Structure 1
Amino acid sequence: MTAIRTILAENSTSISELKKNPMAVIEGGQGFPVLVLNRNQPAFYCVPAAAYEEMMNKLEDIELAQLVMQRTNSKEVEIDLNEL
């Protein structure tokens, strides 16, 4: 039985097409991820560099926000800037 998966891209291509012309696949996605299929099964997402960088920045923002929330009620510590 084949597992049902959520497709997280509006565009898809076969791995054969990706091999033929990788840049055409990326350009065809118009800046968005492209799902690459291997034998009609999702294999991986081809993500343009700008989109990947944006995702990494958002993940970092989420991690920082979680850290802020964890420390919201923490005890304050006084620091003398001259001692740093």
Structure 2
Amino acid sequence: MPINPIYTTATASISDLKKDPMGIISAGTSHTGTMAILNRNKPVFYCVSPELFAYLQDAIEDFELGITALARKADGKLIAVNPDEL
């Protein structure tokens, strides 16, 4: 039987979520910003706070821009820029 890791300390069952969706999500995401929803003690999805979601989106964008910058640097077409002229 495979073990399903849970990547957050806050959890709720899918049954509890159906009974009180906003209460469960608000309470679960208030401390860490994340909550695992379980079905038969296995995580089926994660809820994240809007603030954490925005942070993750920014982090992904920064990572993608870093990859683009490294690719452009590797192609050897660098342009000298004076920051004082920007």
Distance in 2 separating the partners of 1:19 and 1:48: 18
- How large is the RMSD of aligned CA atoms in angstroms? 1.9
Structure 1 residue 76: Cα displacement: 3.4
Aligned match of 1:56: 57
Stretch moving more, 64-73 or 14-23? 64-73
Paired residue secondary structure (1:25): helix
Distance in 1 separating the partners of 2:42 and 2:22: 21
CA contact (8 A) 1:14 1:38 kept: yes
Q: Does 1:24 align with 2:23?
A: yes
Aligned match of 1:35: 36
**Aligned residue pair count:** 77
TM-score by length of 2: 0.76
Paired residue secondary structure (1:72): helix
Structure 1 stretches of 4+ moved >3 Å: none
Q: Structure 2: 5+ residue runs without aligned partners?
A: 80-86
